[in-house]
Amino acid sequence: MSDDERGREHPTVILCAGGPMLLRGDHVIEDADGVRHRTTRPVSAVCRCGKSSMQPWCDGTHKLIPDKSRP
C-alpha torsion angle, residues 40, 45, 47, 49 (rounded to 10)? 180
Mean pLDDT by 10 residues, the chain (71 residues): 54 92 94 93 95 96 89 83
Domain-wise residue ranges, the chain: 3-69
In the three-class reduction of DSSP (H, G, I as helix; E, B as strand; rest coil), residue 45 is classed as strand
In the three-class reduction of DSSP (H, G, I as helix; E, B as strand; rest coil), residue 6 is classed as helix
Q: What is the pLDDT of residue 45?
A: 97
Backbone angles phi, psi at 51, to 5 degrees: -105, -5
Q: What is the pLDDT of residue 71?
A: 83
